[in-house]
Amino acid sequence: MRIAVLGGDGYCGWATALYLSKQGHAVTIIDNFVRRQWDYELGVQTLTPIQPLPQRLRAWEQLTGQTIDLRVGDICDYEFSAAAIRDLQPDAIVHFAEQRSAPYSMIDRQHAVYTQVNNVVGTLNLLFAARELKPDCHIVKLGTMGEYGTPNIDIEEGFLEIEHNGRKDTLPFPKQPGSFYHLSKVHDSHNMMFACKIWGLRATDLNQGVVYGTVTDEVQMDEALINRFDYDEVFGTVLNRFCAQAAIGMPLSVYGKGGQTRGFLDIRDTVRCIELACLHPAKPGEFRVFNQFTEQFSVLELAQTVKSVGAQMGLKVEIDHVPDPRVEAESHYYNAKHSKLADLGLEPHLLSASLLDSLINIAVRYRDRIDPSVFAPQVNWRAGKNERRTAAIPAPEPVV
């Protein structure tokens, strides 16, 4: 298939682009490198020393003989995004090209507005470009399980059959997103559902859980292909952050009680889910929703697991409960369905001690790049404006 991977220089996007290329698809990455810019803004960097994208792509070609094309630009610029769709004529557009951090969107007004405008306008542009230039292409859009919030009922995959006053309908599942970022994804979902209805576009909204891990078969082929490993309080996903803390002997920072339960998945399942969605496209006019995760854990359960695996590795790992900077239930009912991707053939990599061991080992390997000052939450949901202190990043030193 001809597949455009938007945001292909990011954490999930890069692993996905390589995986799809390996499977023989003709992949083009579209990216404007703003993810790297956010690191400069925040004074943080990925634990793993990632290469500039052109180097990454050259290494991929040398190793595999396969090429991944690149178009550099911002999908919020319609001239750019329309030209890309017109030239590439993709069978599928995999859309990771959004600001994806909840804390980033909660820093202050500017970051909230930026996140919503960037994400909503980028997606609107794609919908209009597809309508105009490639109406039968399949849009595979990354949403988030965070769109649902934590309702006191089972979470279904996108839609819910409701009986009310003796009548029935199947309606979009009610959304209670918990940050301006999560809200932007809810806005996108509504816009996409509408575009499919009026224009007959086909789209899959992947409500992804929290991703962990950094290695895939492709990424580990060579150091030049190494993937991001974000551990800071703004972009670091929780399990990766815990592993980085364990690696340098810092206590794992659990927000509040840690009863916050979410869906999680290994990045190796992310890439496979994307391919499964592409291989089994939505029908014309169909807007379908898959919940893309494999297991549920509470944050405290994850911390305890990291502590226990760390102990087996000889690391002394403590768990610290810090005041929750977010406004969220610290313990709640949570039961989210996730059978549609399994029905298409997903065989999940469940969280195992060996995966955690390997993840902590990566963190140990790059421990000298860890800036311990960027773990502590500095973005408080209750404030309208958070002054982030940007730390001086210690220069990378050779590992002893």
Chain residues in the site for a copy of itself (CB under 8 A):
78, 109, 112-113, 116-117, 120-121, 124-125, 128, 131-132, 151-154, 160, 162-165, 167-169, 171-180, 183, 186-187, 190-191, 193-194, 197-199, 327, 333, 381-382, 384-385
Closer by beta carbon to a copy of itself, 131 or else 321: 131
Closer by beta carbon to a copy of itself, 36 or else 175: 175
Shortest Cβ 173–a copy of itself spacing (Å)? 7
Shortest Cβ 135–a copy of itself spacing (Å)? 9
Structure tokens belonging to residue 338: 């996730």
Structure tokens belonging to residue 207: 């409500």
Shortest Cβ 324–a copy of itself spacing (Å)? 12
Closer by beta carbon to a copy of itself, 167 or else 389: 167
Closer by beta carbon to a copy of itself, 78 or else 80: 78
Structure tokens belonging to residue 24: 């023989």
The residue from 123, 144, 237, 294 that is catalytic is: 144
CA neighbor of 366 nearest in space, from 226, 197, 181: 226
Q: Residue 101 corresponds to which amino acid?
A: S
Nearest-angstrom CA–CA distance, 395 and 122:
35
| Burial tier of 347 (Cβ tally within 10 Å: 0-12, 13-18, 19+) | exposed
Nearest-angstrom CA–CA distance, 373 and 369:
12
Closer by beta carbon to a copy of itself, 117 or else 322: 117
DSSP assignment string, 115-180: HHHHHHHHHHHHHHHHHHH-TTPEEEEEEEGGGS---SS-B-SSEEEEEETTEEEEEEPP----SH
Structure tokens belonging to residue 229: 């490993």
Confirm whether 255 is a catalytic residue: no
**Count of beta carbons in the 10 Å neighbourhood of residue 69:** 13
Closer by beta carbon to a copy of itself, 382 or else 389: 382
Shortest Cβ 335–a copy of itself spacing (Å)? 8
Cα distances from 173 to residues 117, 157, 177, 261, in angstroms, run: 24, 8, 12, 19
DSSP assignment string, 284-302: TT-EEEEEE-SEEEEHHHH
Shortest Cβ 240–a copy of itself spacing (Å)? 26
Confirm whether 181 is a catalytic residue: yes
Q: What is the CA radius of gyration of the chain?
A: 20
The residue from 11, 104, 148, 181 that is catalytic is: 181
Confirm whether 185 is a catalytic residue: yes
Q: Is the dihedral of CA 207, 211, 217, 222 positive or negative?
A: positive
Phi (first) and psi of residue 327, to 5 degrees: -100, 105
Helix H or strand E segment including 319: strand 319-322
Shortest Cβ 176–a copy of itself spacing (Å)? 7
Contact 285, 201 (CB under 8 A): yes
The residue from 185, 214, 216, 294 that is catalytic is: 185
Closer by beta carbon to a copy of itself, 15 or else 124: 124
| Burial tier of 121 (Cβ tally within 10 Å: 0-12, 13-18, 19+) | middle
Contact 287, 214 (CB under 8 A): no
Closer by beta carbon to a copy of itself, 180 or else 366: 180
Q: Which residues are catalytic?
A: 144, 181, 185
